Amino acid sequence: MPMQKEIHLTGSDLAGMVQLRPQDIGKYVIMPGTPDRLEALVKKIQNPLKNFSFMEHTMYTGEYDGVRITAMNGGMFSANTAITTEIVCSIQGENLIRLGSCGALREDIKVGNLILATASIRGDGVTPYYVDSSFETAPDPALTEALEKAAEKVGATVHKGKVWSTDALLRETKELVEEKAAAGAIAVDMVSSTFLTIAQLNKAKAASILAVSDNVMTGEMGFTNPAYYISETTMINVALEAIKQLEKK
């Protein structure tokens, strides 16, 4: 028997399962990777209303400085990030901001600094199902610029550049890392390429800002460094400040 549908399951199908509609979300959707980071973000939102909780992902919508915004933990890996990004895009999410973490690929970038993705080297296993190798994944310039200015305003150290995304966390070998660094990558994560590609294909504005958790070149590990955890809070403040600045224009 031939398959009856062109695609078995879509973002729209999943949005329907959790009864999520375009009018249920805000103008801006902030998507931290982890539930803990989502919890910290929601504490800064006025009158947050839970939209849904499904498959370990939870969405809230409320207000910040008079602006309606939505917060949802988007996922720590490319596969679940693809699902959450598809859901948000299917209900016409306009402005998507990823709050993630990354490893630095330059010696001068310190644990606790922030990275703004300006382009992507796709090493994930999801995007080949969406685009071919000639596709150029890129964030929205205006949203990225707003995050950069907000980072400067709150006093954060921010670096802009290309981010390499990989699914193989434990195979970031010397040969591969140096190859990606030579190709211009200043950081490595597991999500940005998928998040930005799917948003781009759906004509949603998207940007990815990342807290540096470790330095791959020097071997410094930051998960016991208070600077990393402080930067997670700083990153949330940067996203909210960027929204304030965008709404003033």
Q: Which domains does the chain have, with CATH numbers?
A: 11-248 (3.40.50.1580)
Mean pLDDT over 132-159 rounds to 97
Least confident segment among 34-38, 140-144, 220-224, 243-247: 220-224
Residue 145 pLDDT exceeds 90: yes
Q: If pLDDT is split at 50, 70 and 90, which confidence band does 54 have?
A: confident
Query: How far is 104 from 111, CA to CA, in rounded Å?
Result: 8
10-50 pLDDT, tens digit per residue, is: 999 999 989 999 999 999 999 999 999 999 999 999 999 99
Residue by residue, DSSP assigns 141-206 as HHHHHHHHHHHHHTT--EEEEEEEEES-GGG--HHHHHHHHHTTEEEEESSHHHHHHHHHHTT-EE
Residue 69 pLDDT exceeds 90: yes
Mean pLDDT over 55-69 rounds to 95
Residue 178 pLDDT exceeds 90: yes
Portion of the chain with pLDDT greater than 90, in percent: 94
CB of 123 within 8 A of CB of 57? no
Angle between helices 192-201 and 78-90 (to 10 degrees): 30
Residues 6 or more apart in contact with residue 163 via CB below 8 angstroms: 102, 115, 117, 119, 120, 121, 185, 186, 187, 188, 189, 192, 193, 208, 210
Q: CA nearest 44: which of 223, 246, 244?
A: 244
**Helix (H) or strand (E) segment spanning residue 13:** helix 11-17
Residue 249 pLDDT exceeds 80: no
Q: What is the pLDDT of residue 223?
A: 81
Residue 164 pLDDT exceeds 80: yes
Q: CA nearest 41: which of 11, 69, 6?
A: 69
Mean pLDDT over 67-81 rounds to 96
Task: Take residue 108 and report the two structure tokens written for it.
Answer: 């001068």
For the chain, give the longest Cα–Cα distance.
Answer: 61
Terminal C-alpha separation, the chain: 56
Tell me the chain's radius of gyration from C-alpha atoms.
17
C-alpha distances in Å from residue 95, one per residue of 1, 60, 244:
41, 16, 13
Mean pLDDT over 48-63 rounds to 94
Q: What is the pLDDT of residue 99?
A: 98
CB of 116 within 8 A of CB of 211? no
Whether this prediction's pTM lies above 0.85 is answered by yes
Mean pLDDT across the chain:
96
Mean pLDDT over 189-215 rounds to 98
**Helix (H) or strand (E) segment spanning residue 243:** helix 226-248
